[in-house]
Structure 1
Amino acid sequence: MKPFHSAFGKALVLLLVAMTSAVFAQTDLPADRPGIPSADEVREIVAPALDGKWATGLVIGVYQDGETRVYAFGSLAEDADPARLVFEIGSVTKVFTGLLLADAVVLGKLRLEDPLSDHVAFKVPSFEGQPVRLVHLATHTSALPAVPDDFLTRKHDPTNPYGSYSFDEMVAFVEAYKLPRAPGTQFEYSNIGMGLVGHVLETKVYETDLDTAFAARICVPLEMNDTRIVLTEPLRKRLVQGHTATLEPTGTWDIPAMPGCGALKSTVADMLRFIRAELDPGGTHLEEAIRLSQQEHFQGPGGGNGLGWLIGKKGDMTILNHAGQTGGYTSFLGIVPERKAGVIVLADAAGCVAIGVGTEVFRRLVTGTRAPSCLPVPVVLAEAELDRFTGAYAFPGGTSLRILREGSRLLLETAEGTRVAIEPCSPARFFVRESPILPLFFEFRLGEDGRVKELVAESDGESSPEVGQRSGD
């Protein structure tokens, strides 16, 4: 069952996969016009996120043609300077790594078509003689997986899953891995891939750690002095408390083996400076590198890929975006060069809150339209009502799921024993809060006798809904 397993297998600890042009796929509601939205409009967009307890606080930055606005909500609204609050930005780091790679190309340090094996001291797998090239790593087309196969089963701290994973362990996995297809032929999101880009940049190009390279080539020149991998004590004092998807306080992540895939921390103020540079690079030393990173280097059925950016098209607009998630934070970054417009959302909780809010603020900014929130607000159902849904459900292809009640909540259990809570947002419609991209929905359908007959698992955006038949209590 692709919708469930793609979201709740490895993805529970992955850095967040970004959206593509599906940002604007929903039915539009009227709004005034394209342009920077008012504080009241943004507040209305954010309301379901706070009412539904998707986060305790968010900071949002909007940029258009030289003009900026910052909005803060929830627990962060009363901060004296919310634009300077520090968050983990997770996989938005990949946009910086892609830009640093483009910078190295412009400087003549390497070529995108270089085989990875030319720049590392370990064995790199190939497919029928076709090598993994740097451009494949930066566009998620290397055929390397998101994380190593044993990443979740090995002994680790679930609140800091990358913290104990060493570079030597990653190398051992890569050397032994058998590529399932030719590199450059299919998109498959890979933290390993971008981690390897970071390694090449550290060891073969800039000859320093990635944090120092980011600072020297990107952050300091763009006056992004609060964007770092390792926080100074003053920055740590401004670090927002992170939360799990269920709003339990949690700590930050360490990613020593592959910092290029998701280790940066930043602020809305710094990210607005980054957006400005991406949309108006003329006059910066990064102009050529920025333009190279924004080019489409791979085109697949779901959209294109720049160097770190995911790229979609909507009419005359090119939509470049990425999202990020760690154990306690989520982020969303989107720009449209044709509109000189961009959005950054930083939230203090894991899950899909930054994408849910960010895509709607982004839509309002560049199209002047609105859509219903994708973040549901939960309702309360009595235990007797919940009991109607318990039982086993058989899906096509031999997949089965079981619905269990534990006190006042329902749990969805896979055949492998993985359990996740599902929350009601209507009498027969439930959602999964821990989804790493957008909420996944499950709807129970009644038969003619009034008893629950089917469980519909809605699409993750890549496949059609799947219908499971109730097979027993």
Structure 2
Amino acid sequence: MQALRCVLLALLVVSSAPQATRADDSTTLSTRVSQLTADYRAKRPFAALSVGLLQNGQSHTFSYGQTGEADSQRPTDGRTLFEIGSISKVFTSLALAVMVERGDVNLNDPLSRILPDATLSEDAGNITLHELSTHTSGLPRLPVAMIFDALWNRDNPYVAFDERRLEHFLSSWKAPDQRAFMYSNLGAGLLGHALQHKAGLGSYDSLLKSTIATPLGLVDTTVHLSADQKSRYASGYSLKGLPVSSWDFNALAGAGAIRSSTDDLLVFLKHQLNPEQSPLGKPITRSHKTRKQTKSGVIGLGWLIVEKDGRTLFFHNGATGGYTAFIGFEPGRKQALVLLSNTADAFARDNSLDKLGFKLLGDLGTTPEPPEAEKTKDR
């Protein structure tokens, strides 16, 4: 997730070239993926790229580059962990859907009901969980105070924004006259914070594990890394190849704190493609339902959705200080894609991985072309 700027999600042209590979021809598929990612990798020779593709029920992982500092480099593979930034919002919204299905909350519950002990302005108290999930609460992308945090601490801009500061902001917040779609890291982080407290859990990580990771068998989707996971964690780099620190989230963990691997995200996307076979089938189906219109498509619970010519593509992307990520799936074609990279610039516009994601989906599976997107991405 970039702390200060949003990046265009599209203006991306999906290739109209004929499909050149088959999912059961791994050699040909490997060659094609290598060709399509060659330019991206050539411009980042110091970094790693992990590609996961799901077609016709078969998972394929293609990994390039090394992770770690020069004295501890190790090959990238499907179990290498990366920060996934704003893709965390998809998980936060699915946690909401799980809790709705369990009867713990309703989509239209206001914050005043979910956080009864918090000091909230009247406008903040009236914000609903549905509005937080669909970026229609009227909340800004980030509080002004957090923008100053980012200027003073570019290496770790979210770490100082704790529960006390979040409540202080909400205690005097006034809603704008219009509550149209406006991408908000603050709103997504607040959603995770509210759900965590409603569930009586001590951390967002516990919420993630109890509602999603454990039921779906996601062993490497987490906020806090174990010793083994730290040994498989990719070091982050700037676009110039300089080492950068990981980002630590505090009260806004639901907006971008998750780390995960290509293998885990392929499992997650398999459940998205086949909700009828998933233990979270009903919440997943609920999260796919279109909720609000945007200038470039529609949004579900967390998912950005492109609909064109009778076809539907779900996707989300993300970035932190030294990591970029992209996931997408097309139910009609039963295909999904994961891209994870350990290079980024949190304060620069770089949608190279997004372009690569749409290109791969297009060339390898002929997905619909996303229309021009508005500025929804503040990674």
TM-score bucket of the superposed structures, by smaller chain: 0.7 to 0.9
Contact 1:19 1:321 in 2 (8 A): no
Are the structure 2 counterparts of residues 369 and 264 from structure 1 closer, same or farther at C-alpha, using a change threshold of 3 Å?
closer
Cα deviation, 1:127-158, whole Å, max 9, x if unaligned, reads 9xx93211110001111011112322247421
Residue equivalent to 1:288? 282
Amino acid at match of 2:270: R
2 CA distance for matches of 1:55 and 1:364? 26
Which one has a bigger Cα radius of gyration?
A: 1
SS at the partner of 2:145? Answer: coil
Q: Does 1:169 align with 2:165?
A: yes
Contact 1:34–1:367 at 8 Å: present in 2 too?
no
For the residue of structure 2 that corresponds to 1:228, the secondary structure is: coil
Paired position in structure 2 for 1:320 = 314
For the pair 1:364 / 2:363, whether they are aligned, the reply is yes
Shift of 1:32: 2.6
Judged with a 3 Å threshold, the aligned counterparts in structure 2 of structure 1 residues 369 and 55 are, in CA distance, closer, same or farther, namely farther
- Give how far 1:49 is off: 1.1
Q: Distance in 1 between matches of 2:78 and 2:4?
A: 27
Deviates more, 1:207-216 or 1:296-305: 207-216
Who is 1:13 aligned against? 3
2:302 equivalent among 281, 302, 308: 308
Distance 2:148 2:88 in 1: 26
CA distance, structure 1, for counterparts of residue 7 and residue 97 of structure 2: 21
Task: Tell me the amino acid that sits aligned with residue 112 of structure 1.
Answer: L
Give 2:242's aligned amino acid.
Answer: E
The alignment status of 1:99 with 2:64, answered yes or no, reads no
Q: Report what 2:20 is aligned to.
A: 32
For residues 112 and 313 of structure 1, the distance between their equivalents in structure 2, rounded to whole angstroms, comes to: 24
1:71 alignment partner, one of 59, 62, 65: 62
Normalized per residue, which structure has more strand? 1
Structure 1, 195-204 or 320-329: larger mean CA deviation: 195-204
1:76-112 deviations in Å (ceiling 9; x for gaps): 6x95660000100111011100100000111111111
**How many angstroms does 1:335 deviate by?**
0.8
Deviation at 1:26, TM superposition (A): 5.0
Cα distance in 2, alignment partners of residues 55 and 179 from structure 1: 45
Q: Is the 8 A contact 2:121 2:174 kept in 1?
A: no
Deviations 1:327-348 (A, max 9, x none): 0100001011111111010001
What residue number does 1:272 align with? 266
Alignment of 1:33-432 (within 5 A): 38-53=29-44, 56-75=47-66, 82-120=77-115, 121-126=118-123, 131-154=126-149, 156-183=152-179, 186-350=180-344, 351-367=350-366
Instruction: Measure the CA separation in 2 of the matches of 1:132 and 1:17.
Output: 26
CA contact (8 A) 2:313 2:367 kept: no
What's the TM-score, normalizing by structure 2? Answer: 0.86
Using CA pairs below 8 Å that are at least 6 residues apart, which structure has the higher relative contact order? 2
User: 1: CA distance between counterparts of 2:271 and 2:55?
Assistant: 12
Q: Supply the distance in 2 between the matched residues of 1:216 and 1:31 (Cα, whole angstroms).
A: 40
Whether contact under 8 Å (1:95, 1:309) holds in the other structure is yes
Paired residues of 2:44 and 2:241 also in contact (CA < 8 A)? yes
Q: Which has the higher helix share?
A: 2
Structure 1 unaligned runs (5+)?
Answer: 1-10, 371-459, 464-473
- 1:59-84 Cα offsets, whole Å, 9 max, x none, are 000002310110112336x9566000
Give the paired residue count. Answer: 358
**Partners of 1:305 and 1:53 in 2: CA distance:** 32
Q: Distance in 2 between matches of 1:86 and 1:55?
A: 17
Q: CA RMSD in A?
A: 2.7
The 3 A distance-change label for structure 1 pair 219 and 196 is same
TM-score, normalisation: structure 1: 0.70
